[in-house]
A = this chain, B = another copy of it.
Amino acid sequence: MAYRAHAEARLKEAGFRITTPRRRVIDLLAEAVGPVSAYEMRDQLEARGERIDIVSVYRIIGCLEQTGLVHRILSTGKVHRCVIEAHEPCGLPQPDHCHHSLICRTCGRIEEMHCPDIGSLLARAAATLGFALESHRLELGGLCKRCAA
Protein backbone atom coordinates (compact mmCIF):
# COMPACT_ATOMS: atom_id res chain seq x y z
CA MET A 1 0.00 0.00 0.00
CA ALA A 2 1.56 3.23 -1.17
CA TYR A 3 -0.94 5.36 0.68
CA ARG A 4 -0.32 3.66 4.00
CA ALA A 5 3.41 4.36 3.81
CA HIS A 6 2.72 7.98 2.95
CA ALA A 7 0.22 8.35 5.79
CA GLU A 8 2.48 6.71 8.34
CA ALA A 9 5.34 8.98 7.39
CA ARG A 10 3.23 12.09 7.87
CA LEU A 11 1.85 10.82 11.16
CA LYS A 12 5.37 10.21 12.46
CA GLU A 13 6.45 13.67 11.39
CA ALA A 14 3.56 15.10 13.37
CA GLY A 15 4.59 13.14 16.46
CA PHE A 16 1.81 10.56 16.32
CA ARG A 17 2.37 6.89 17.01
CA ILE A 18 1.62 4.21 14.44
CA THR A 19 -1.01 1.97 15.97
CA THR A 20 -3.09 -0.90 14.75
CA PRO A 21 -6.43 1.00 14.82
CA ARG A 22 -4.86 3.89 12.92
CA ARG A 23 -3.46 1.58 10.28
CA ARG A 24 -6.86 -0.03 9.91
CA VAL A 25 -8.66 3.26 9.42
CA ILE A 26 -6.04 4.47 6.98
CA ASP A 27 -6.26 1.30 4.92
CA LEU A 28 -10.03 1.49 4.92
CA LEU A 29 -10.02 5.07 3.66
CA ALA A 30 -7.42 4.24 1.03
CA GLU A 31 -9.59 1.45 -0.39
CA ALA A 32 -12.92 3.30 -0.06
CA VAL A 33 -14.54 4.54 -3.25
CA GLY A 34 -16.12 7.63 -1.66
CA PRO A 35 -16.48 9.44 1.65
CA VAL A 36 -17.21 7.30 4.70
CA SER A 37 -18.79 8.28 7.98
CA ALA A 38 -17.33 7.37 11.35
CA TYR A 39 -19.97 4.74 12.00
CA GLU A 40 -19.60 3.31 8.53
CA MET A 41 -15.89 2.96 9.14
CA ARG A 42 -16.49 1.13 12.38
CA ASP A 43 -19.07 -1.17 10.83
CA GLN A 44 -16.95 -1.94 7.78
CA LEU A 45 -13.92 -2.67 9.94
CA GLU A 46 -15.91 -4.90 12.28
CA ALA A 47 -17.35 -6.71 9.26
CA ARG A 48 -13.78 -7.61 8.32
CA GLY A 49 -13.26 -8.88 11.81
CA GLU A 50 -11.14 -5.87 12.77
CA ARG A 51 -12.53 -4.77 16.10
CA ILE A 52 -12.55 -1.02 16.77
CA ASP A 53 -14.51 1.28 19.04
CA ILE A 54 -16.47 4.18 17.61
CA VAL A 55 -14.69 6.53 19.99
CA SER A 56 -11.37 5.54 18.53
CA VAL A 57 -12.67 6.09 15.03
CA TYR A 58 -13.59 9.65 15.92
CA ARG A 59 -10.24 10.28 17.56
CA ILE A 60 -8.35 8.83 14.63
CA ILE A 61 -10.35 10.96 12.23
CA GLY A 62 -9.34 14.00 14.28
CA CYS A 63 -5.71 13.02 14.20
CA LEU A 64 -5.73 12.36 10.47
CA GLU A 65 -7.48 15.66 9.89
CA GLN A 66 -4.89 17.54 11.95
CA THR A 67 -2.16 15.92 9.93
CA GLY A 68 -3.86 16.99 6.73
CA LEU A 69 -4.45 13.41 5.59
CA VAL A 70 -8.22 13.58 5.46
CA HIS A 71 -10.96 16.19 5.50
CA ARG A 72 -14.63 16.19 6.24
CA ILE A 73 -17.54 17.03 3.97
CA LEU A 74 -21.25 17.21 4.54
CA SER A 75 -23.02 14.11 3.30
CA THR A 76 -26.11 13.81 1.16
CA GLY A 77 -29.32 15.41 2.34
CA LYS A 78 -29.96 18.20 4.77
CA VAL A 79 -29.36 15.95 7.72
CA HIS A 80 -26.26 17.01 9.57
CA ARG A 81 -24.10 13.97 9.07
CA CYS A 82 -20.35 14.10 8.89
CA VAL A 83 -18.46 12.04 6.37
CA ILE A 84 -14.81 11.68 5.69
CA GLU A 85 -12.71 11.44 2.61
CA ALA A 86 -9.13 10.78 1.72
CA HIS A 87 -7.41 14.03 0.87
CA GLU A 88 -5.48 14.74 -2.25
CA PRO A 89 -3.83 18.16 -2.39
CA CYS A 90 -5.48 20.57 -4.75
CA GLY A 91 -2.60 22.79 -5.79
CA LEU A 92 -4.34 26.07 -5.10
CA PRO A 93 -2.30 29.14 -4.16
CA GLN A 94 -3.01 29.65 -0.50
CA PRO A 95 -6.32 28.42 0.90
CA ASP A 96 -5.08 25.65 3.21
CA HIS A 97 -7.69 23.21 2.03
CA CYS A 98 -10.11 23.04 -0.81
CA HIS A 99 -13.20 20.94 -0.71
CA HIS A 100 -15.21 20.71 -3.89
CA SER A 101 -17.81 17.99 -3.69
CA LEU A 102 -20.34 17.05 -6.32
CA ILE A 103 -23.24 15.24 -4.68
CA CYS A 104 -25.70 13.44 -6.95
CA ARG A 105 -29.25 13.87 -5.70
CA THR A 106 -30.35 10.54 -7.18
CA CYS A 107 -27.65 7.95 -6.57
CA GLY A 108 -26.04 9.81 -3.68
CA ARG A 109 -22.55 9.29 -5.01
CA ILE A 110 -20.04 11.99 -4.13
CA GLU A 111 -17.13 12.92 -6.33
CA GLU A 112 -14.47 15.53 -5.84
CA MET A 113 -14.05 18.21 -8.45
CA HIS A 114 -10.64 19.63 -9.26
CA CYS A 115 -11.01 23.28 -10.17
CA PRO A 116 -8.10 25.61 -9.37
CA ASP A 117 -9.75 28.69 -10.97
CA ILE A 118 -12.43 28.82 -8.33
CA GLY A 119 -10.00 29.52 -5.52
CA SER A 120 -8.76 32.80 -6.89
CA LEU A 121 -12.18 33.82 -8.16
CA LEU A 122 -13.64 33.38 -4.71
CA ALA A 123 -10.73 35.21 -3.14
CA ARG A 124 -11.37 38.19 -5.39
CA ALA A 125 -15.12 38.15 -4.78
CA ALA A 126 -14.59 38.00 -1.02
CA ALA A 127 -11.98 40.75 -1.19
CA THR A 128 -14.54 43.20 -2.56
CA LEU A 129 -16.25 42.92 0.83
CA GLY A 130 -12.97 43.32 2.68
CA PHE A 131 -12.91 39.65 3.57
CA ALA A 132 -9.51 37.92 3.50
CA LEU A 133 -10.18 34.41 2.25
CA GLU A 134 -8.29 31.54 3.84
CA SER A 135 -10.31 28.43 3.14
CA HIS A 136 -13.38 27.37 1.24
CA ARG A 137 -15.85 24.57 1.29
CA LEU A 138 -17.98 23.94 -1.71
CA GLU A 139 -20.81 21.47 -2.09
CA LEU A 140 -22.59 21.10 -5.38
CA GLY A 141 -25.89 19.31 -5.86
CA GLY A 142 -27.30 17.95 -9.09
CA LEU A 143 -27.19 14.91 -11.32
CA CYS A 144 -24.06 12.88 -11.96
CA LYS A 145 -23.02 11.68 -15.40
CA ARG A 146 -24.74 8.32 -15.05
CA CYS A 147 -27.97 9.61 -13.52
CA ALA A 148 -28.33 12.49 -16.00
CA ALA A 149 -28.35 10.14 -19.00
CB atoms of A132 and B148 under 8 A apart: yes
CB atoms of A142 and B117 under 8 A apart: no
CB atoms of A135 and B141 under 8 A apart: yes
Bound CA span A80–B73, Å:
11
List, in ascending order, chain B residues with CB within 8 A of A144's CB: 130-131
The chain B residue with its CB closest to the CB of A74 is B74
List, in ascending order, chain B residues with CB within 8 A of A126's CB: 102, 113, 140, 142
CB atoms of A122 and B135 under 8 A apart: no
Q: Does A139 contact B (CB under 8 A)?
A: yes
Q: Which residues, 95 to 146 on A, are CB-close (under 8 Å) to B?
A: 102, 104-105, 111, 113, 115, 117-118, 121-122, 125-126, 129-145
Could you list 20 examples of A-B contacts with CB < 8 Å?
A: A72-B78, A104-B131, A105-B134, A111-B129, A113-B125, A113-B129, A113-B131, A117-B125, A122-B138, A130-B145, A131-B142, A132-B148, A134-B141, A134-B143, A135-B140, A135-B141, A136-B138, A137-B138, A137-B140, A138-B138
